[in-house]
Structure 1
């Protein structure tokens, strides 16, 4: 029984594992972190301008909207020619 378990533990050949699922999950994670970071930055900016600076809701909303639009164009991915 122990010999059979030892044989199956060493059946793995380095470099032969299919990693496409792991790669796509990692790319999805990076995309989510990127967009969530932009959202959090816009929210924090709006709250800081609104409450800490005292400029009001409209100024905070406008500054968050500007950061969101600029961030969207800066962070959007380029379409690859393969797809």
Structure 2
């Protein structure tokens, strides 16, 4: 019977780079979405309502602060 000549061994590969890339993409998506939403909110309030510039800035800052507090990374429950 022919032997398997592959160097691949299931579960033996170091996946640190893939994990780091995945975490980077997730972080960019999360924070990019927050700031995109903040930009849309700012320009919508500025041009489509009577909120004016300062009202748009205040609402946008509230969204950014709330989003930052809600989206920041939580420490692992098992880590001390």
1:36 aligned onto 2:38:
no
Question: Which ranges of structure 1 fall in alignment gaps of 5 or more residues?
Answer: 1-6
Q: Which has the larger radius of gyration?
A: 1
Give the total of aligned pairs: 76
Q: TM-score normalised to the size of structure 1?
A: 0.79
5+ residue gaps, structure 2, are none
TM-score with structure 2 length normalisation? 0.82
Shift of 1:29: 1.1
Dislocated runs of 4+, deviation >4 Å: none
- Root-mean-square deviation (Å): 1.9
